[in-house]
Chain A
Amino acid sequence: MHEISIVTSLLSLVEEELAKRQLQKLLVVRVRHGALANIVPDAMSFAFEALTLGGPFEGARLELEEEPVVLRCSCGASFNPEQKRELLFAPCPACGATWGHTVETGRELYLQHIEAE
């Protein structure tokens, strides 16, 4: 539901980046989002379409890439939790501990790449 706010921030970053390079036409925006960033891709795409409609970025394409979750167990092992629903409390393949992991990647939300002319 907060995707509208996210896309609004995204579009202002894109505007800045294009202005810096004196580019006019936006073709592609690529966003990388962690699996723990609470992003619903369909809602992002919908927000992007709605917020660019009738403006200078109309017709640009939003590409979304998911960054997998990597957890670090207190035993030192890093691993990908297999089950999506158990992202924060998956068993560690090295020692079996289920809890107390720290999130190494998976919370990111960043603009990765723009194509424009």
Chain B
Amino acid sequence: MEIPVIRNILEANSNLAGDLRMLFIRHGILALNLISSPGAGKTSLLERTLKDLQAEFRMAVIEGDLQTDNDARRVAATGAKAVQINTEGGCHLDAAMIRAALAHFDLSELDVLFIENVGNLVCPVEFDCGEDDKIALLSVTEGDDKPEKYPLLFNLASALVLNKVDLLPYVDFNLSQATHFATRLNRGLAVFEVSCRTGQGLHTWYDWLRARRATKKTT
């Protein structure tokens, strides 16, 4: 017997992500999904942001890692609440993992939720976690052709954080080539050139966060 079906294979995840999105709207939470390759500086960006903006926002982090809770401990050291998800080898977070992690938070006491995805530029892009925005991170110690090699992330992200710009004099990274490519793939992409080590440029990222958060505030 032949059965025509036509069903989105990821429909369960998409439906759940839709529920989470409604939940975030109801609580006025800005949810951001941070995606990059390993070592680009997702945790460093969070450490800085959580410290520098702690007087302005109530923030929390869901940490996705293959193994260990090292990143969650780094984040928790800033005083922010962090929940660790160990994917045990899984290459991405999905909406069900986010829902499970949310049980550890009081959503009425939260303004911004960061989801630090597993370091990977491919798989996390395919799984909607209910976030408002995907944030792509790229560091100048990587290839400047990453946007060309992994166009989908840069096409779908709302913002690109270019980290480690303090190292530019020592590496062959062509900043204008990387940003040129990414912004042509995605005209609405906001680009921030920062160094999480020195703090350079981070105010531009913070301004974007403030503006984005203002659009989600419940009255």
Q: Residues of A at under 8 Å CB distance from B?
A: 1-2, 4-6, 9-10, 12-13, 17, 21, 23, 31, 36-38, 87-89, 98-100, 108-117
Contacts and interface: CB of A to CB of B under 8 A. Distances in A.
Contacts of A10: 9
Contacts, number: 84
Given A1-B123, A38-B152, A112 B5 contact: yes
A9 B5 CA distance: 14
Given A2-B122, A115-B1, 8 more contacts: A6-B9, A9-B12, A21-B1, A38-B123, A89-B151, A108-B8, A113-B4, A116-B3
Contact of A110 (B9, B123, B127): B9
B123 A2 contact: yes
- Closest 6 pairs between A and B when the two form their complex, measured CB to CB: A2-B123, A1-B91, A99-B184, A114-B3, A88-B151, A111-B7
Given A38-B126, A89-B151, A100-B187, A5 B90 contact: yes
A4 B127 CA distance: 13
Tell me whether chain A's interface is mostly helix, strand or loop, or mixed. mixed
A20 to B, nearest CB: 9
A17 B90 contact: no
| Max count, chain A CB within 10 A of own CB: residue among B1, B3, B122 | B3
Interface of B: 1-13, 90-92, 94, 120, 122-123, 125-127, 151-152, 155, 184-185, 187
A17 B3 contact: yes
A112 B4 contact: yes
Nearest to A117: B1
20 contacts: A1-B91, A2-B122, A2-B123, A2-B127, A4-B90, A5-B127, A10-B9, A13-B9, A17-B7, A23-B1, A38-B122, A99-B185, A100-B184, A100-B187, A109-B9, A110-B9, A111-B7, A112-B5, A113-B3, A116-B3
A115 B2 contact: yes
Contact of A87 (B8, B120, B151): B151
B120 to A, nearest CB: 7
B126 A113 contact: no
Contact of B184 (A12, A13, A31, A89): A89
Contact of B185 (A23, A38, A89): A89
A13 B9 CA distance: 7
Contacts of A108: 8
| Max count, chain B CB within 10 A of own CB: residue among A4, A5, A113 | A5
Given A99-B184, A115-B2, A116-B3, A9 B126 contact: no
Contacts of B184: 89, 98-100
A37 B126 contact: yes
A41 B55 CA distance: 49
Contacts of A38: 122-123, 125-126, 152
B2 A113 contact: yes
A9 B126 CA distance: 13
